[in-house]
Amino acid sequence: MAHRGFWLMGLVLVALWLAGNSVYIIMQTERAVLLQFGQVVNPDVKPGLHFKWPWVNQVRKFDGRILTFDSPPERFLTVEKKPLDVDFFVKWRITDTESYYTATTGDEARAHGLLAQRIRTGLRNQFGERTVHEVVSGERDLLMDQLVDSTTRAAQAEFGVEVIDIRIKRIDLPERVSQSVFERMRSEREREAREYRATGREQAEVIRAAADRQKTVIEAEAYRDAEIIRGEGDALSTAIYAQAYSVDAEFYAFLRSLEAYRESFGEGGDLMVLDPRGDFFQYFQQAQGSSKR
């Protein structure tokens, strides 16, 4: 009885093992191929629950989503024979599972290697037809579009892969070239700085000369106006003096004599030797004559 139960338990375990190895599930995010003794019998197994023969059939599953391959920096030459270090990444997905399995045996790393080889060849050809400026800015988008188209055609034909996008993350000059470019850029900037300084000094001299000329003109005009005003004042003063003199010439002569006496004898230490009978003392003489009378 115990022997019979043992065999029954063994049969149950074998049945469970066979059932577990006969059923497989394909998720919505997966692609798969069904093999029979190593040959592909179903190149595109749909998502869902499926059955297979143990030991006879094998199932190889692949990620059916969009995958990313990040490449290490590669060096390419432009049409000017200038080296550039390019860092890029690729977005891709499987479109033909049979071709993909046949070319890569389902190894994603091998698929990355094949993709990288095709893209390096495409980048080498594209960079070799363009200058540094065109690669960096001018035709970068066009270059990427052409590279995606050509790589997709080759990848689909060879190993059933569609290239969704290729993007360049960074383009750098090699260290040696970067240093020479930096030195050339610095020389260019220094030359431009010298030109700006020379232009500034020239403009400063022009402005300074114009200011000096304007200053000279203003001073000359001011001196001219001052002389005109001074002349007009002197003329007016002379006219007033002449008018006053014509009213009473004797009084005007007397007043001028008094001013002359005040200016001549204003300081106590002044010494003058004059003839007392001269014209300078005529009013003193008249005053003495009046007092004698």
Rounded CA separation 272/264 (Å):
9
Return phi, psi of residue 92, to 5°: -145, 165
Rounded Cα distance between 21 and 218, Å, is 110
pLDDT tens, residue by residue, 251-277: 777 777 767 666 666 666 656 565 555
Would the pLDDT of 20 be above 70?
A: no
pLDDT 10s digits, 54-75: 777 788 888 888 999 888 888 8
Residue 177 has pLDDT above 70, yes or no: no
- Going from the N-terminus, what domains does the chain have, and what CATH number goes with each? 2-62 (no CATH), 67-173 (3.30.479.30), 255-292 (no CATH)
Task: Tell me what percent of the residues of the chain surpass a pLDDT of 70.
Answer: 75
In total, the chain counts a number of residues equal to 293
pLDDT grade, residue 122 (50/70/90)? confident
Residue 292 has, within 13 A of its CA and on its CB side, a CA count of 6
Tell me the helices (H) and strands (E) count for the chain, helix number first: 8, 9
Q: Which tokens go with 229?
A: 């005003």
Name which of 102, 108, 107, 103 is nearest 35 in CA terms: 102
What's the pLDDT at 289?
47
**Model-level pTM?**
0.53
Q: How far is CA 116 from the centre of its chain?
A: 33
Cβ neighbours of residue 189 under 8 Å, at least 6 residues apart?
none
Mean pLDDT of the chain: 79
